[in-house]
A and B are shown apart, each in its own frame.
Chain A
Amino acid sequence: MDLFNLPRRDWITFGLFALVVVTMPIWLTPLGASYPGLLQKFAIFAIFAIGFNILFGLTGYLSFGHAAFLGVGSYTAVWSFKLLTMDALPAIMFAVIVSGLFALVIGYLSLRRTGIYFSILTLAFAQMCYNLAYSVLTPITNGETSLQLTLQDPRVIDSALAARPEGLPSASIFGHVFDGFEGFYFCAALLLIAFFIALKIFSSPFGMMLRAIKSNQTRMNYTGFDTKPYALTAFVISGMYAGLAGALLAVTDPLAGAERMQWTASGEVVLMTILGGVGTLIGPVIGAWLIKYFENIFSAFNEQVLTRFFSFLPPEITEPVVTISSKFVGEGWHLTLGLIFVLVVVFLPGGIMEGVRRIGALFRRTTPPSAPAARPAAPTIQPAE
């Protein structure tokens, strides 16, 4: 069947990835990150980053407004909860469709320009959505109080099927309310589907066309391709991924605020992708996990934790070490992240995945004397006269 037509290499990648994701609650326990709330975020932001990478990694178009689609997805999902039902599936479906339509409009307008102008246009549209959510659109977005569930919500389908329960309901799937790690496994299942679709795109002729657009758009045109619809399709697909991520944020916590669309959120996904490795399949996922880990775990460290951590040192050294390192944890986690980001970009321009590749090449060099394929510097090709 064509749907499952993938090279063997990609199936191995998928199998390993699935194994890593499913066992996350186990291997994250020693790192102190194995609680459902954070694991859900890991899965959700991995979806966001994978989708962003389909646009940025393959076509080279750097969108600086991708959080807008995340926000649109969240609002749509919460409205689906309020008006129709607390079931997660319709909410996700609507969110993906609506954010896809949003991406179609914004992409159609932004893709008239390339390079920095494209980035600025997407940034402008996202900031427009953000500000509209706080001003004109408050009836839809509920402004600064965020869109939340209320007891007065109609919830047409749920009310028709069963008596209204006491209090505020939570998101469910076929009447089953998520409990403990179930919410994470639901997000993880969607992450695996999203990863599989990304694999299909990466290994398909369509994916090659997108890479060719990044490589040399002029050549694409003279080769007989209309590059605009290709780039627009990539933009819409990646907008739909963001919508899915936004919907899942609403499923795990039924509330949608405009701050999700702010430019810092758009910048965060750019950081995730660059940190992990632009254009690689796994890289953006690693980037997303790393940033979310820092944001949630590293920021919670305080001096007591550090003193315990450095307790193996002689007491006279412990104090200065703790004082210095305390600047890098807690509130200072941005500082650590910034340092890591600078180091990665300077020494590993291909992101963490390039580091992994280099280590792999080192191992291969020690065994057989096969020449590792070094990444050749890509010369920029000037158009002919």
Chain B
Amino acid sequence: MLNVIIGRLAPSRGAVVFDGKVLTGKKPHQINQMGVVRVFQTPEIFPELSVLQNVMAPAFAKRDGAFRINIWRSLESERGIEEEANHILQDVGLYERRSHHAGALSRGDKRRMELAMCLIQHPRLLLLDEPTAGMSRHDTNTTIELLKKIKARGMTKVIIEHDMHVVFSLADKISVLAGGRIIAEGLPRRVRRSEKVQEAYLGGAHRLEEATH
């Protein structure tokens, strides 16, 4: 589902429309430049770069567009972008480790860093694929708090998640998918009561899909 929105897979039929513009058939970088940004289920980061550089790179994409030969100024003299990156790293709790190699971070920290990489672009639509998968309960709660904070800033998010704790703490609107079809949709209260959902949820490891606004 997210792969279709983001342009990695083509839909078998139909089209993805965001803000009145068709996303289907566009290249990944074009979709990103339109303000649709994604966090992957397995963190996609730049392992050889430092944490700070990982977060600065997307800011350049936002400021300079998809391609610009920027060799006149050194990285150190890009104060504005560095400050913004530091600020966001403080938000996700990685500021102290900003000069570490990103590849050396723990999986949970990589996820938080990837979230920071997305947030620095101020996306209009943020797509999250199981943002807490594989995290401890404590880390999960920290991430939920973080996502709540982002929600307060008024950014639209789509979250794929099957951890009910996460889903019900964050969602405004939930769609439940089973076997590729929507079996229930609506406010959290109503979805929770739906018989079909209970059956699918108890019957197997079907995914719940949820959207928050």
B-binding residues in A (CB < 8 A): 2-3, 5-7, 10, 200-201, 203-209, 211-212, 214-216, 218-227, 229-230, 233, 375-379, 381-385
| B69–A225 touching, CB < 8 Å | no
| A204–B71 touching, CB < 8 Å | yes
Is B53 an interface residue when CB atoms closer than 8 A count as contact?
yes
Complex interface residues of chain B between 20 and 46 (CB less than 8 A to chain A): 27-29, 32-33, 37-38, 40-46
A10 neighbours in B (Cβ, 8 Å) = 74
B74 neighbours in A (Cβ, 8 Å) = 5-7, 10, 200, 203-204
A233-B42 contact, Cβ under 8 Å, with A378-B103, A381-B47:
no
Shortest beta-carbon distance from A62 to chain B in Å: 16
A377 neighbours in B (Cβ, 8 Å) = 103
Is B172 an interface residue when CB atoms closer than 8 A count as contact?
no
B33 neighbours in A (Cβ, 8 Å) = 224
| B67–A219 touching, CB < 8 Å | no
| B45–A216 touching, CB < 8 Å | yes
Distance A375 CA – B47 CA, assembled complex (angstroms): 11
A209 neighbours in B (Cβ, 8 Å) = 57, 60
Is B76 an interface residue when CB atoms closer than 8 A count as contact?
yes
Shortest beta-carbon distance from A241 to chain B in Å: 14
Shortest beta-carbon distance from A111 to chain B in Å: 14
A381-B56 contact, Cβ under 8 Å, with A3-B72, A5-B72, A206-B70:
no
| B72–A218 touching, CB < 8 Å | no
A205 neighbours in B (Cβ, 8 Å) = 56, 60, 64, 70, 73, 75, 78
Shortest beta-carbon distance from B132 to chain A in Å: 15
28 CB contacts below 8 A, A to B, read: A2-B73, A5-B72, A5-B74, A6-B74, A200-B74, A204-B70, A204-B75, A208-B60, A211-B48, A212-B46, A212-B53, A215-B47, A216-B46, A220-B29, A222-B28, A223-B32, A224-B58, A225-B61, A230-B67, A233-B69, A375-B101, A376-B103, A381-B42, A382-B42, A383-B42, A384-B41, A384-B129, A385-B3
| B29–A215 touching, CB < 8 Å | no
A201 neighbours in B (Cβ, 8 Å) = 71
Majority secondary structure of chain A interface residues (helix, strand, loop or mixed): helix
Is B6 an interface residue when CB atoms closer than 8 A count as contact?
yes
Shortest beta-carbon distance from B95 to chain A in Å: 18
| A223–B58 touching, CB < 8 Å | yes
A7 neighbours in B (Cβ, 8 Å) = 74, 76
Across the A-B interface, give the 4 residue pairs with the lowest CB-CB distance, nearest first. Answer: A224-B32, A224-B61, A384-B40, A215-B46
A384 neighbours in B (Cβ, 8 Å) = 40-42, 44, 129
A225-B38 contact, Cβ under 8 Å, with A216-B47, A376-B101, A381-B44:
no
Question: Which single member of A204, A220, A226 contacts B72 (CB below 8 Å)?
Answer: A204
| B103–A203 touching, CB < 8 Å | no
Is B144 an interface residue when CB atoms closer than 8 A count as contact?
no
B44 neighbours in A (Cβ, 8 Å) = 216, 218-219, 222, 381, 383-384
A226-B103 contact, Cβ under 8 Å, with A216-B47, A378-B47, A381-B47:
no
Look across to chain A and name the residue whose beta carbon is closest to the beta carbon of B72.
A2
Shortest beta-carbon distance from B130 to chain A in Å: 9
| B46–A379 touching, CB < 8 Å | no
Distance A381 CA – B41 CA, assembled complex (angstroms): 11
A219 neighbours in B (Cβ, 8 Å) = 44-46
Distance A88 CA – B72 CA, assembled complex (angstroms): 28
